[in-house]
Structure 1
Amino acid sequence: MTAPARTHTSAELIRAEAPVLAHNYHPLPVVVARAEGTWVEDVEGRRYLDMLAGYSALNFGHRNPVLIEAAHRQLDRLTLTSRAFHNDRLAHFAASLARLTGLDMVLPMNTGAEAVESAVKVARKWAYEVKGVAPDRATIVVAADNFHGRTTTIVSFSTDETARSGFGPFTPGFRIVPYNDLAALEAAVDETTAAVLIEPIQGEAGVVIPDDGYLAGVRELTSRKGCLFVADEIQSGLGRTGTTLAVDHEGVVPDLLLLGKALGGGIVPVSAVVGRRDVLEVLRPGEHGSTFGGNPLAAAVGSAVVELLETGEFQRRAAELGVVLRDGLAALVGKGVEGFRARGLWAGVDIDPSIGTGREISEGLMREGVLVKDTHGSTIRLAPPLTITADELRSALAALEKVLAQGV
C-alpha cells in the first residue's frame, strides 16, 4: 500500500515560504486550508471567524454556493478566449453591471490596480480629445493618504512612503490635496485637470469617512470645472457600506466608477471601469486591452455577483448589521478603543497605543479565533463577509473586548 501523504503543519508551511516567496507581505501566522461562509480553517483544523473578507473580495462569503455553481457551470463550457474573439457571456455581464450602477458602458479588467490604471488612461485621453488640454499636459487631482494600488504610476501619487520609497522615478501629472477638503480641491483644479480621483471612503487609511456633503461637493465642483469625477469603489463598493455603492449615500453618480475585489466573488480576479458612454468611447481598437479582461469565467462569476446584489439582500444586511457593529464598538470606547469610524459592515478601529499596536491586537484576536488586519499604527480594520450573522458579529466584538482587557 502507498503510505498516506504527510500533512505539513502550519509552522512548516510558513518556514517553507521564506526561501521561495518574495518577502513583500507580513501575514499573520495562520495557514488557511479550507473555508466556508464566514469561517476559515487552518491545516491543524483550528477554525477562525473571518473579519477581513479579503479586503472586501469576499463580501458574499467564502465559497458562496451561488457563485461556486456559476463558476462550475462555466468551467465545464469555456474559460478563456482572449478579446481577440467575442464570448457568449460578456455582453450580459456588461449590461447587468451598467444597469446596477446606473451608468452606460463597461471596460472589463482583472485587478483593482488595472482598473485604476485604465481610468487614468481614459481620463487623460478624454482630456486631450474632448476637453482640449494640450498634449501631455493633463493633470489628475488625488487625495492624500489614498490607496489605489501598487503599480509604479499609482504609487507615484501615494503619500505612503512605504509604498513609494525605492520605486522612483515617478510618473508626473498628479496633484495631491488633503482628503475631505473641498477648498483645497477647488484650488488644485484648473484648465489642465482631466479628473479628480478619490475613494469615497479611504480604506487603507483606516476607513476614513468624509463629512456629509463632501462627495456631493466633489460632484458639483467637477461638473462646474469641466473635469471627470472618478470614484474608486474597489473596496467600498458592492454592498459593503449598506448601499450598492458608497457614493449612493449622497446620491452621487460619478463619471467613471472603479470596481473590483467583490466583483469576482472571491473566486477569480475581476475588475471594471464603468462609466459614461461619451467618456469610455474615447478608447478605440488597439489603444488599450487585457488578455484576461472580460474572460468568460470572469463574466459568468461577475454576472452572478450582480444578480446577488440586484436582490438588495446584501445591502440590507450590511446596513442592519452595521448598527450591531457600531453599537458594539461604541461600548468599547474608553475600554481600549480610542475611537472608530464605521459605515455598514466596515470599520476602522483606533486602539489605545499603550495596549498594543494594530499588529499585536490582530495577533491577539487570532489567538481568540478571529482574523482581522491592522493598518497604520494601532488601527485595525473590520470588514466581515456580508453573510455574517449578528451572533457571529457579537462574538467577534466580545473577542476584541477580551483582548483589550488582557492586553498584549
Structure 2
Amino acid sequence: MKKQNLVVVGGGSTYTLGMVMSLIEEKENFPLKSITFYDTNAERQEKIAKATEVILKEKYPELESFNYTTNRKKAFSDVDFAFVQIRTGGLQMREKDEQIPLRHGAVGQETCGPGGMAYGLRSIKDMIEVVNDVREYAPDAWILNYTNPAAIVAEALRREFPKDDKILNICDMPAAIMVSYAKILGKEIWDLVPEYFGLNHFGWFTDIYDKEGNKLTDDIKNAIKDNGFLPEDSEIINDPSWIKTFKQVETMLNDFPDYLPNTYLQYYLYPSQMVEKEDVENTRARQVINGREKRVHDQCETLIRDNSTEHADLEVDIHGCYMIRVAASLAYNNGDTFIVIVENNGIISNLQDDAMVEVPASLTARGPKPFAVGSIPTFQKGLIEGQLAFEKLVVDAWYEKDYNKLLQALTLNRTVVDAPRARAILDDLIKENKEFWPELAKK
C-alpha cells in the first residue's frame, strides 16, 4: 500500500490536533510518508505544530517527515492529498457574523443565513488561491475541501475550476449525526449505510440501513421520539449548545416525520426560536474562543512543556476519521460510500443540474460515483430551491460585485425573509467586511 504525502491547509486550526489523532488512529487504512502543515498565520500554527511534533514522536514514529511552513512551494510540492480547513477572518470575524444578524432579530450562525453569507464571501478568494497554489506544485493531488460554508465555497469552486475533477467538497455533519444513530442502534458508524439528499447543512436522511441491507430508519425515529437525541462525537458531546441543537431533532421529526433531518435545518424551520435562545454578547464564536480554542491552546502548551503526551487529553474525532476514510477510498480505489457534495447532473431528477448537492457516493480512484436519488417531494424541493437560489446569488454577487444580488439573496433566505431587515443586515456586514469582500456596486 503506497504511503501518501499529506498537507493540512489551515494547520493552525483548533481542529488540527483532532485530525492528527485521527491520522494516527487510521494509519493502517491511510498510511503516510509525510505530513506538512500550511497556514498564513505563522504564530498560530507554530504552537499547534510543536505540540503535534510531540504527539507524532510518540504515536507515529514510522512517519518519515513532519514539517510546518508558511511557504506555499514548500507546503504543496509533490503532495498526494491536501486537506483544506481555512477560516478567513478567524473567530473574530465569525463573532461579527453572528452578532450583526442577531442585533436585527435574525439568526446569527456561522454557516447559515447572513453569517454564512458573510463567511462565504470571505472564503471564496482564499479558496481559489489555495486551489491554484496546490495545482501549481502538485497538479495531480486530491484536494479535499471542508472549509465552511461548504455550499457557497463548492459553488464558487465549481465555476472557477469546472474541469478539475480532483476537488471534492465534504462536510462531516452527516457523519456526526450518524455517530448518534449508531449509538442508538448499538453499532459503529461504519456499519451504517445512509440514503440522504439535500444541500450542505440543508438535507435529510431518507433511510438508514446496515451492511446486510436491514432497514433501521424506524428504529432510529422511534428511539428519538421516545428518548430524545444527543450528540456522541467526542468534539461536541459535552457542548451545551450542541446538546440543544441535537435535542431540536425531536421537534423537527415530530413536525415533519417523513425523513430524519440534518440538525442545521432548525435554523430554517424555526428561525424565531433560534434567535430567542441566543445571546448577542455570548454567541457561539465567543463560546468557542473561551472554550475549545482556550482548551486546545492550553493542551498544546502542556504537550510542549512536558515533551510528552502523558498528561494530555487527546481524542480521536469523527471529523478527522471521516476525512481520512474518504481519502483512503480515493487513494486505494476502495469504492466505499460517503455523503459528499457533487454537481447534481440528474442525481436529484427534479432539481437543476448545476446545483451542488449533498448525496451518498461510492468513492473510487476516478472520483465520486454518486447514487441516483430520483424525484424528491414538493416540500423538500421547495425548501431546497429557495436555499439554492440564495447560494447561487451570493456567488453571483462575489463575481459581479453586485450589492443588489446580495440583497436578493438575504431576502430569499428563510432566516431573514424581510427585505428592509435584509438591507440593514447587509449594510452592517459590508462595513465590517471591507478588508475581505469585493467592493460592491449598487444598480
Compare relative contact order (CA 8 Å, sep 6+) and give the higher one, 1 or 2: 1
TM-score (norm 1): 0.26
TM-score (norm 2): 0.25
Q: Which has the higher helix share?
A: 2
